[in-house]
Amino acid sequence: MEVKIDKNNIIRMTHKLKSSENYKVSKGSKFKTISIFSKPQIVKGFSNVCEDGKGILVIDYDGVDKSVVLDDYSLIQEKFNLPIGYLFKTKENNFHVICLKKFLQSEIFEILQYTRCDNMFKTMTLRNPYRSYVLRLSNKKGSKKPKFVEFIGDEINWEYEISSAHLDLLVKVYKTIRGDYEKEDKFIKLKLNIYET
């Protein structure tokens, strides 16, 4: 960006927008700004909400070592009687965790407080117009589709109800995923979201 101030104190800025950029002019009572930023990407994801209004536990970690995720899951598995979880890698040191056990949304918020996941994710339901937690399924610039890494946690607590629709999605998208659960809700509808990031 080139900025020039002439002898009459007129500022002239020159910047050729790239196809991936956009701009915004803001004016307050004490300032004026021009912001140039990357256009948001459109990505596809799924909501944690089930047909009965409950939700599954989904967690998003950014910039952490894998051991942090495993330690967190061990803690919350014991405290909240969780079955195994599914660990996904979105890029180096970024992870998603999915647990198919169903909870009230307020319970999910409480569980997330026991983790060291991304702080913005913990409060996602306050900003999301659908008031749900969403995890990405598609590619994103700088990050491919989340890759299934492994099952995490102990193979316990199979007796709790899980979301059939979310299990079906995982089995279809990731062929190596399985689930030997005793109690499925048998619901089939799933909310998919297209959103900006």
Q: Sketch out the chain's domains with CATH numbers.
A: 2-38 (no CATH), 42-196 (3.90.920)
Q: Is the dihedral of CA 60, 63, 65, 68 positive or negative?
A: negative
From 38, 40, 41, 35, select the one nearest 23 (Cα to Cα).
Answer: 35
- pLDDT at residue 196 tops 80: no
pLDDT tens digits, 144-186: 889 999 999 999 999 999 999 999 999 999 988 877 799 999 9
Query: pLDDT at residue 94 above 90?
Result: yes
Average of per-residue pLDDT across 92-120: 97
CA separation for the pair 188, 74 (Å, rounded): 30
CA atoms lying within 13 Å on the CB side of residue 191: 18
Mean pLDDT of the chain: 90
121-149: pLDDT as tens digits: 999 998 888 889 999 987 677 678 899 99
pTM of the shown model: 0.80
